[in-house]
Amino acid sequence: MHGESPIKRRESRKIWVGNVPVGGDAPIAVQSMTNTDTNDVAATVAQIQRLVDAGVDIVRVSVPDMDAAEAFGKIKQLVSVPLVADIHFDYKIALRVAELGVDCLRINPGNIGREDRVRAVVDAARDRGIPIRIGVNAGSLEKDLQKKYGEPTPAALVESALRHVEHLDRLDFQDFKVSVKASDVFMAVEAYRLLAKQIVQPLHLGITEAGGLRSGTVKSAVGLGMLLAEGIGDTIRISLAARPGRRSESRLRHPQVAAPALAWHQLHRLPELLAAELRCGQDHERAGRAP
C-alpha cells in the first residue's frame, strides 16, 4: 500500500459535468473523445461504450451542425456517461444541445459572435446547470495576439484564456473549466502554471496533437505528469494525431484513454499507466485495420 501523496493539490472551484465532479476535492476525471461521424448514432454509441469500459469518466462529442445536434440528442439517450458537446461558431447548435440534455458545452465565447448570442448560450447553460469549457489552443489564437506576440507563447495562451474568463465573469457565470493547449509540451506546461495562479476554476489538462501512439503517449505523460506533480489539473485528456490515411480526415484524435489512476495521489504508478496507454492504443490501431 502506498501512503498519502505529499503533493498539495491546487485549490479550485468544483463544478459538475453530469454526475461527475471536476475540481475541488474531486478525483481527477479522465476524458476522451469520439472520432466517429456523430451522425452515425450506432457507431458513436458503440465507441462511447468502449471508452466507458476502458475507464473514461466523460466523453466529448463533436457537434459541427444541426444534423449532428439532433444525432447527439439520440446518442445522449443511449449512454449513461456524461457527454461534452464540442461547439465552435454557431450558437444555435449550443442552444439545441442544451435542450437535448448535454452535460457540458465546449465553446469559446469569442467565437460565438455578438454579445446577445453569448448571453443566450450562457443563460441556457445557467438555467439547466450546464458547465462550459473554455478551450484555448496555440494553433488558433486571436489575430491581435498573434501580432502582439509574433508566435504562440505561454503568455499569449493565458491572455487569450483570461479574455474568455472575463467575458463569462461579466455575465456572472462561474461554472466553467479552462484549457490552454499546445503541441509543444513545455509551452503548454508553462501556460497552465501561469493560468493556475490567476483563476480559481478547474483546469482541463492536455497536450494538443501530441504525436503518434508511442511518442504522443510519452509527450503527454511528461507534460501532464509535470503538472500533476505540482498539484495542477482537475481533468485530463490525451490527444494523438491520426495515422496517415485513416478515414478521410487529415487530423483525427485517437480516442485514447488516460487511466483514472493517473490522479494526483497515484503518480507513482506512471510506468504502469504508460504501459496501459500503449495497450489501449494498440487495440484501437488493430480495430482501425480490421476490414
Tens of pLDDT, residues 119-133: 999 999 999 999 999
Quote helix, strand, coil % in the chain, to nearest 5: 50, 15, 40
Q: What pLDDT shows up at residue 9?
A: 86
Burial 108-131 (b: 16+ CB within 10 A, else e): bbebbeeeebbbbbbebbbeeebb
Q: How confident is the model at residue 207 (pLDDT cuts 50, 70, 90)?
A: confident
259, pLDDT greater than 70: no
What value does the mean pLDDT take over residues 253-260?
41
Q: How far apart are CA 290 and CA 284, in angstroms?
A: 10
Contact 20, 82 (CB under 8 A): yes
pTM listed for this prediction: 0.81
Please tell me the number of Cα atoms within 13 Å of 53 on its side-chain side: 7
Which tens digit of pLDDT belongs to each residue from 19-30? 999 999 998 898
In angstroms, rounded to a whole number, what is the distance separating the alpha carbons of residues 277 and 59? 17
- Report, as an integer, the average pLDDT of 228-243: 76
Owning domain of residue 198: 25-289
Q: Supply the pLDDT for residue 108.
A: 78
Q: What are the φ/ψ torsions at residue 16 (nearest 5 degrees)?
A: -125, 125
Secondary element (H or E) of residue 123: helix 115-128
Residues 92 and 85: beta-carbon distance below 8 Å: no
String of DSSP letters for 37-80:
-TT-HHHHHHHHHHHHHHT-SEEEEE--SHHHHHHHHHHHHH--
**118 within some domain:** yes
The pLDDT of residue 113: 76
pLDDT in tens, 185-205: 899 999 999 999 999 999 999
Residues 239, 208 contacting (CB under 8 angstroms): yes
Residue 142 lies inside a defined structural domain of this protein: yes
CA distances from 62 to 26, 66, 71, 260, 288 (A): 26, 11, 11, 23, 20
* pLDDT score recorded for residue 41: 98
More confident residue, 76 or 206: 76
SS3 label, residue 170: helix
Does a structural domain hold residue 2? no
Whether 282 is covered by a domain: the verdict is yes
Q: Is residue 281 part of a domain?
A: yes
Residue 279 resides in a domain = yes
Question: Is 16 inside any structural domain?
Answer: no
Three-class SS state of 10: coil
Separation CA 271–CA 175 (nearest Å): 34
Structural domain total, the chain: 1
CATH of the domain at 202: 3.20.20.20
pLDDT number for residue 93: 97
Domain for residue 15, yes or no?
no
Residue with cell 444534423: 67
List C-alpha distances in Å: 102 to 76, 123, 215.
7, 14, 33
Q: What's the mean per-residue pLDDT of the chain? A: 82
